């Protein structure tokens, strides 16, 4: 159960604090309507920063990236935290001591895992080797869906964004009393029926060194085995880390799935706590690095359809951006069910989903699909 401050519960009849429009049809946590979020970003900023600050204080997480001039520089993501000795980084993984910087998210991690039978409900299952057999026999055991094999789903319990609608938000509760796992724990989990490993969360970015060490170890054990490496990420990591992710996926037949949350910077800041320009730059880099392996596609984009905030205009902007790079990059639009601080918002409607699908196609993309259709209302 989520216990929140009163200021984050708008209640029925809530109105936008800037224009006075009603919020009942979209949910009132932010208390600023989508139009004002997009078109009045300067006036929206104070309230948005308050919402994100309070949502993080609930879990003992830093309100903003650490910037201690005497701290240790963390280079894993674009936030470039410099936490002092008794300060946490924004993601909550490490603090500013040399021992923490050496070990946390590297030789040990905040992580959990489970086995997911293939084919699975993955963002990329409609184009990936495990779901379709693309790349058989080099990257897949069968020329169709891989029945009888498993995806090792590795969930990293940390994130460097702060999405108010996060459907995996409960990992933040664990950071109040961290549960660390050593590399050996995950190494033993990879067996003869594991044909892919998917790192997600949270986000794999803040603990990427741990994932890379795991991959190197299990690949040495059986270098000829089919073992695809996949990632689901917000794209908010250092370009060098994203390049390593892409390289490992390219070599193994896996893919990098980047969740593009919104096109308008104001919308992205309201929903996720930061702007999106560096994320979009990273997506363009990943598209360039992955262009040499069109099948199975090494890069997949996705966007959750948040009622009111992520509409067909947002999708058209993102889809036009993707199509300008490569119109064949697969793009999954994801129906959304209310979660976390936006649990009073509605579920994605069929009308919204249809409009967004059409917008993505009109923007020039050739491979678009709707995921989580069972959620549509």
pLDDT tens track for 131-150: 999 999 999 999 999 999 99
pLDDT (0 to 100) of residue 175:
74
Asked whether the beta carbons of 207 and 234 are under 8 A apart, the reply is: no
pLDDT tens track for 332-373: 999 999 999 999 899 999 999 999 999 999 999 999 999 999
Tokens of 126: 């409609």
Per residue in 204-259, pLDDT tens? 999 999 999 999 999 999 899 999 999 999 999 999 999 999 999 999 999 999 99
Share of the chain above pLDDT 90, in %: 89
* Average pLDDT value for the chain: 94
Any idea which residue has 């360039």 for tokens? 288
Model pLDDT for residues 296-325, shown as the tens digit of each residue: 999 999 999 999 999 999 999 999 999 999
Residue 121 predicted with pLDDT over 90? no
pLDDT above 70 (res 1): no
Tally of CA atoms within 13 A in the half-sphere of 5 that contains its CB: 13
Q: What is the structure's pLDDT at 9?
A: 74
Q: Give me the mean pLDDT over the 261-285 stretch.
A: 97
Could you give all domains of the chain from N- to C-terminal order, each with its CATH number? 12-57 (no CATH), 66-104 (no CATH), 110-375 (3.20.20.70)
Rounded Cα gap, residues 239 and 44, in angstroms: 30
Tens-place pLDDT, residues 77-116: 999 999 998 899 999 999 999 999 999 999 999 999 999 9
| Percent of residues in the chain assigned helix, strand, coil, to nearest 5 | 35, 15, 50
Rounded Cα distance, 353 and 338, in Å: 15
Sign of CA dihedral 32, 280, 255, 90: negative
60 token code pair: 């003992």
């Amino acid at each position: 159960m989520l216990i929140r401050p009163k200021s984050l519960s708008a209640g029925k009849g809530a109105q936008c604090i800037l224009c006075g429009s009603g919020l009942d049809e979209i949910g009132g946590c932010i208390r600023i309507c989508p139009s004002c979020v997009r078109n009045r970003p300067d006036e929206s900023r104070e309230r948005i920063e308050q919402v994100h600050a309070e949502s993080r204080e609930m879990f003992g997480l830093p309100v903003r990236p650490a910037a201690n001039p005497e701290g240790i520089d963390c280079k894993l993501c674009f936030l470039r935290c410099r936490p002092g000795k008794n300060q946490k980084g924004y993601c909550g993984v490490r603090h500013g001591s040399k021992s923490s910087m050496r070990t946390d998210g590297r030789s040990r991690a905040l992580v959990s895992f489970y086995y997911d039978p293939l084919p699975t409900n993955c963002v990329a299952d409609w184009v990936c080797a495990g779901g379709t057999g693309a790349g058989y026999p080099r990257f897949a055991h069968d020329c169709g869906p891989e029945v009888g094999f498993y995806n090792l789903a590795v969930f990293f319990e940390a994130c460097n964004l702060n999405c108010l609608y996060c459907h995996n938000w409960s990992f933040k509760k664990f950071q109040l009393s961290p549960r660390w796992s050593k590399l050996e724990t995950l190494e033993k989990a990879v067996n003869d029926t594991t044909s892919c490993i998917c790192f997600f969360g949270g986000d794999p970015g803040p603990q990427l060194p741990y994932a890379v060490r795991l991959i190197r170890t299990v690949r040495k054990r059986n270098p000829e085995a089919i073992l695809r490496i996949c990632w689901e990420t917000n794209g908010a990591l250092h370009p060098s880390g994203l390049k390593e992710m892409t390289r490992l996926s390219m070599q193994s037949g896996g893919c990098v799935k980047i969740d593009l949350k919104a096109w308008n910077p104001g919308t992205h800041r309201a929903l996720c706590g930061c702007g999106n320009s560096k994320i979009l730059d990273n997506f363009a880099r990943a598209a360039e690095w992955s262009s040499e392996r069109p099948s199975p596609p090494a890069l997949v984009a996705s966007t959750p359809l948040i009622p009111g905030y992520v509409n067909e205009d947002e999708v058209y902007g993102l889809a036009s951006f993707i199509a300008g790079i490569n119109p064949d990059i697969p793009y999954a639009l994801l129906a959304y069910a209310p979660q976390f601080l936006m649990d009073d918002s509605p579920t994605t409607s069929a009308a919204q989903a249809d409009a967004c699908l059409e917008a993505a196609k009109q923007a020039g993309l050739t491979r678009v699909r709707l995921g989580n259709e069972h959620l549509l209302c």
